[in-house]
């Protein structure tokens, strides 16, 4: 399967701990996106990359959140000093070059539970 892969699928952590999620996009997709989804809501945009460059960050992405895509392939999303409000599904998506006429392909997400 050559779809978007996310790891881990589930993560349970205690408040105050740091967590890191990984996303492997579809090969040769140079755009990579992170979204967050809470129960009953649609996904919320967090940030996106064109190759290794982070082009936009949502105001939702507080200083505790950092995303990287060091070699323009896989990406990581780190949350420092987790809070209970960080509990959500974190979704990764990828697309080819210009997003306007290129569908996003999503992974099945990492579900984070902060206790």
Partner 1 sequence: DAKTTQPPSMDCAEGRAANLPCNHSTISGNEYVYWYRQIHSQGPQYIIHGLKNNETNEMASLIITEDRKSSTLILPHATLRDTAVYYCILNRDDKIIFGKGTRLHILP
Q: What is the largest CA-CA distance in the chain?
A: 41
Q: Choose one: 11-19, 60-68, 71-79, 99-107; the region binding partner 1 (CB under 8 A).
A: 99-107
**3-state SS, residue 5:** strand
Nearest to partner 1 of 38, 115 (CB atom): 38
For residue 48, give every residue at least 6 positions away whose Cβ sits within 8 Å of its Cβ, in sequence order, or none.
31, 32, 33, 34, 54, 55, 56
Q: Is 25 in the site for partner 1 (CB under 8 A)?
A: no
x-or-dash pattern for partner 1, window 56-75, by CB under 8 A? x-------------------
Quick one: which of 88, 109, 112, 114 contacts partner 1 (CB under 8 A)? Answer: 109
Phi, psi of 42 (to 5 degrees): -75, 160
Q: Choose one: 13-21, 29-37, 61-69, 76-84; the region binding partner 1 (CB under 8 A).
A: 29-37
């Amino acid at each position: 399967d050559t779809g978007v892969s996310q790891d881990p699928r589930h993560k349970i952590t205690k408040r105050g701990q740091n967590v890191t999620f990984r996303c492997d996009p579809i090969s040769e997709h140079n755009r990579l996106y992170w979204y967050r989804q809470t129960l009953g809501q649609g996904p919320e945009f967090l940030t996106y990359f064109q190759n290794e460059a982070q082009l936009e960050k949502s105001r939702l992405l507080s200083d505790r959140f950092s995303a990287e895509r060091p070699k323009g392939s896989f990406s990581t999303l780190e949350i420092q000093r987790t809070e209970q409000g960080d509990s959500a599904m974190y979704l990764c998506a990828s697309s080819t070059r210009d997003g306007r006429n290129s569908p996003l392909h999503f992974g099945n997400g990492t579900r984070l539970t902060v206790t």
